[in-house]
Amino acid sequence: MSTYNWLGCTVVITSALLVGCGARTTPAPIVLLNSQPSEETGGYTDTTYTVKPGDTLFGIAWYTGNDYRDIAQYNNLAEPYRIFPGQSLRLTPPAAQKPAPTAVRVTSAPAPRPSVPTVVSTGNEVTSVTPTQDTGLTTTNTAQRVIDQPQSHGYGESENLVNKHESKCDKNSSSNVNNASQNGFPDKVSCWVWPAVGEIVETFDIAESGNKGVDIAGPLGSDVVAAADGKVVYSGSALRGYGNLVIIKHTESFLSAYAYNNSILVNERDWVVAGQKIATMGSSGTDSVRLHFEVRYRGKSLDPLKYLPKQ
């Protein structure tokens, strides 16, 4: 357990729980693992996890980069998934336990893909990480990023706008998702699209207590879409500080999260395609209407602006 003063609040962190004042508009950070560098290396690679005070199965799955249902299955846990400090949880299937066959379940055909937004450049450019054999991730060459600017908390500031542009995602995403649902997750993320259209009001902060994603503000009820093909592994509000949350698994290593939603339109175990509407923008878990979007590699936070398309 650690205690420190942040923005005038006494904050206590015990494993996955953060307790303090409620002024923060971004999710309470899960401070665990080696989660600070925005590189798709490292992450949580152990095959077991020792439960700490305050942990929940949902939180453990999120910050180790797993599906909570898988962890429950590997450890013979039934709802409501009670765990206790000191308990060792398997994160991989026992040798004698074969993964259960996954039913092919793709939700109704999505509407035409939303156009790819762009972040208006301030003259700063972030070069994307070159794909490696270890990560199996396909990214764009560069991404425009607003940096060295005061953080915005209102609407209408053109410097941080996400605008509409044509999506360049593979038109065969539905076939790819069908294949994945039958044969397991792909090795690579084939394409990323912006999860919402609006104004960027928070960007990724590598600091321990910083924002672990990007926040996009927009009208209440506006579309939130899947940023890439994948399987919904969480849908609900059990992760403290994230409000109504959707988590999508894209590969064995990559997850994306969509927080603060007003409504959720998909169910756990649904397979979705990039650009498919999965939720509506809201303010659950925060004090203004926005989408909080995260990308994680083996549970480690990455800067989403390194992967989302440029103009």
**What dotted CATH number matches 125-306?**
2.70.70.10
Strand order, beta sheet including 2-6: 2-6, 9-14, 17-19
Is residue 303 left, alpha or beta, with left meaning phi > 0 and alpha meaning psi from -120 to 50?
Answer: beta
Q: Are 258 and 276 in contact (CB under 8 A)?
A: no
Phi first, then psi: give them for residue 126, nearest 5 degrees: -105, 125
Does the structural domain 2-90 have CATH classification 2.40.30.10?
no
Q: Are 31 and 42 in contact (CB under 8 A)?
A: no
Measured at the CA of 301, the angle between CA 216 and CA 310, to 5 degrees, comes to: 50
- The residue ranges of every structural domain in the chain are 2-90, 125-306
Distance CA(126)–CA(144), nearest Å, equals 6
Q: Which tokens go with 154? A: 């209102």
pLDDT tens across the length of the chain (311 residues): 555 444 344 444 444 444 444 444 444 443 333 333 345 666 788 889 999 999 999 889 887 888 999 999 999 999 989 999 999 999 898 876 655 544 445 444 444 444 434 333 333 343 333 333 333 343 333 333 332 333 333 333 445 777 754 456 766 667 777 777 777 889 889 899 999 999 999 999 988 889 999 999 999 999 999 999 999 999 999 898 999 999 999 999 899 999 999 999 999 999 999 999 999 999 998 999 999 999 999 889 999 999 999 85
Distance CA(224)–CA(117), nearest Å, equals 13
DSSP of 160-193 = GEE--------TTHHHHHHHHHHH---SS-----
CB-based contacts of 130, cutoff 8 Å, min separation 6: none
Distance CA(63)–CA(43), nearest Å, equals 9
